[in-house]
Amino acid sequence: MTLIRTGMLTVNAAFLQDLKDDNVHLRELLATVNDVLSHASYRSIHAGAFAELLSGLRDQLATHFTLEECFGYFDDAVEVASRFSTQADILQAQHASLFSEICEIVDEAECLAYGEPNACPMSLIVERYRLFHRVLEAHENGERELIMAALNEDIGVGD
């Protein structure tokens, strides 16, 4: 196992590679959804293809969240300043609500694709997805900032 050491913090290199691959897939899926939403009017979005795309995104998010939760942001063996671990707990707790939200959006998209009589219209599903996407981006930015802040403190960058 290759470990990357920066002062106190230790990051597993294999984990970093997994995270990198996982992030590439996740970014591609998010970009594809955004592309669909930016070029098409709601009427021209194919409900079946959209539901399939969102269900792929849900599955990728399941992998993404599981990876982060299994490995944690930091190596368990090291002492991380308590304000960082509190923030890490808060961020990880957001996974459950984010995942439940994408599952509900996928359900709505599938109901629409199957032509169920009380299905939500595409406009509402898209609106709900856009809100979900904003919350997900804020969550991801929070994680990046946390890791950078902890690493910077660890290697003595900054004040």
Shortest spacing between CB 136 and Fe ion, in angstroms: 9
- φ/ψ of 153, rounded to 5, equals -65, -40
DSSP code string of 35-47: HHHHHS-GGGS-H
Q: In this complex, which beta carbon is closest to Fe ion, that of residue 47 or of residue 98?
A: 98
Residue nearest to Fe ion (CB): 68
**Residue 35 vs 137, nearer CB to Fe ion:** 137
Quote the least distance from Cβ 117 to Fe ion, whole Å. 37
In this complex, which beta carbon is closest to Fe ion, that of residue 68 or of residue 108? Answer: 68
Cβ-based nearer residue to Fe ion, 47 or 62? 62
- Which residues are near Fe ion by CB under 5 A? 68
CB of 55 to Fe ion, least distance (A): 20
* Residue 85 CB, nearest approach to Fe ion (Å): 15
104-137 CB burial, b ≥16 within 10 A, e <16: ebbbbbbbbbeeeeebbebeebbebbeebbeebe
Question: What long-range pairs does 2-6 form, CB within 8 A, spacing at least 24?
Answer: 6/151, 6/154, 6/155
